[in-house]
């Protein structure tokens, strides 16, 4: 049904690189502080980035491809900040063996610092490998049903029939988010559950057609990585933005 081997090959290489690096960076004796998003550490990085921007006129970010998803596009380059602005990366950062990657959102204006929770990478990478094997064997993707333009639920029975494809929510304990896929076979995370909770919990003035993912970054230190844009329908419920 859907077959784009070139895109899949490029995508899985990138996922494997991040997965292998994260495996190398996480020793067995993980310290709890490396697994916790710390507001104090966020504030320290924010101050360093703000001062760097004031001094240089630019942001300390790694170069990414133009089509990189917005919440993964502006990764903080700690090499630009050390040693003048920071002594070392935060203890919970990927660069220092932690579970989080520091990113910048709204780079043209406020340049707020947030983090990506990399602990979901294991499940995403495993699901991606299963889907790639299925496509290579059958010539089409294991899609179950469309849920938006170019987005599909994954037919788990075609893959293994046993375990549900989901990841722990980085926002709410004891909550799991379904994995979905796009037309190129890329695995993504469905944040509808988290968005629905946030819409009920926090005041907002979103209108139909507006991207509502900012309600997560406005109230939490974590950015919704591996996501697609969402909006609200006429009932105020979160739906994938067309």
Q: What is the mean pLDDT of the chain?
A: 86
Q: At what angle do helices 5-25 and 121-138 cross, to 10 degrees?
A: 150
For the chain, what are the domain ranges? 5-119, 141-240
| pLDDT above 90 as % of the chain | 69
pLDDT value of position 63: 86
Give the H/E segment covering residue 78. helix 78-81
Give Dmax (Cα) for the chain: 55
DSSP-assigned beta bridge partners for residue 189 = 179
DSSP-assigned beta bridge partners for residue 102 = 115
pLDDT value of position 157: 86
Mean pLDDT of 127-156: 92
pLDDT value of position 16: 47
Q: In this model, does residue 144 exceed pLDDT 80?
A: yes
Give the residue with greater pLDDT, 228 vs 15: 228
Residue 49 neighbours by CB distance under 10 Å: 23
Q: How confident is the model at residue 7 (pLDDT cuts 50, 70, 90)?
A: low
Q: In this model, does residue 158 exceed pLDDT 80?
A: yes
Query: How many Å apart are CA 235 and CA 13, to the nearest integer?
Result: 41
Structure tokens at 50: 């703000």
DSSP assignments along 103-144, one per residue = EEESTTTT-EEEEEEGGGHHHHHHHHHHHHHHHHHHSS--EE
pTM surpassing 0.75? Answer: yes
Report whether 185 contacts 179 (CB < 8 A).
no
Give the residue with greater pLDDT, 22 vs 90: 90
pLDDT value of position 6: 47
Hey, which bits of the chain come out as E strands? 100-105, 112-117, 143-148, 151-154, 166-168, 176-182, 187-189, 230-232, 238-240
DSSP-assigned beta bridge partners for residue 114 = 103
pLDDT value of position 10: 47
Residue 61 neighbours by CB distance under 10 Å: 17
Helix (H/G/I), strand (E/B), else coil: 61: strand
For 64-97, the pLDDT digits (tens) are 988 899 999 999 999 999 999 999 999 999 999 9
Do you find a cis peptide bond into 83, omega within 30 degrees of 0? yes
Q: Which residue has 């509808």 as its token pair? A: 192
List all residues 6 or more positions away from 138 whose beta carbon is below 8 Å from its beta carbon. none
Q: How confident is the model at residue 38 (pLDDT cuts 50, 70, 90)?
A: confident
Q: In this model, does residue 24 exceed pLDDT 70?
A: no
Counting other chains too, the contacts that 110-113 makes at CB distance below 8 Å and 24 or more residues apart are 111/49, 111/50, 111/53, 111/59, 112/46, 112/217, 113/42, 113/45, 113/46, 113/49, 113/76
Q: How confident is the model at residue 162 (pLDDT cuts 50, 70, 90)?
A: low
């Amino acid at each position: 049904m859907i077959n784009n081997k070139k895109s899949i090959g490029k995508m899985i290489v990138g996922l494997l690189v991040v997965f292998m690096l994260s495996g190398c960076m996480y020793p067995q004796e993980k310290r709890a502080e490396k697994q916790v998003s710390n507001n104090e550490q966020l504030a320290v990085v924010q101050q360093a980035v703000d001062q760097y921007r004031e001094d240089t006129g630019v942001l300390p970010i790694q170069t990414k491809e133009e089509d990189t998803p917005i919440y993964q596009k502006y990764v903080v380059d700690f090499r630009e900040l050390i040693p003048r602005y920071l002594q070392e990366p935060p203890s919970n950062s990927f660069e220092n063996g932690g579970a989080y990657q520091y990113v910048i959102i709204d780079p043209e204006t406020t340049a707020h610092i947030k983090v990506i929770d990399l602990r979901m990478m294991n499940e995403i990478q495993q699901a991606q490998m299963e889907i790639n094997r299925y496509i290579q064997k059958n010539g089409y993707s294991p899609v179950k049903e469309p849920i938006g333009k170019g987005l599909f639920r994954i037919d788990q029975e075609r893959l293994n029939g046993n375990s549900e494809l989901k990841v722990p929510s980085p926002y709410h304990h004891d909550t799991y988010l379904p994995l979905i896929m796009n037309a190129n076979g890329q695995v993504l995370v469905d944040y509808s559950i988290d968005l629905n909770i946030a819409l009920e919990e926090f005041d907002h003035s979103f209108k139909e057609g507006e991207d509502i993912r900012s309600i997560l970054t406005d109230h939490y230190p974590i950015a919704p990585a591996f996501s697609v844009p969402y909006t609200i329908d006429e009932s105020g419920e979160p739906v994938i933005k067309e």
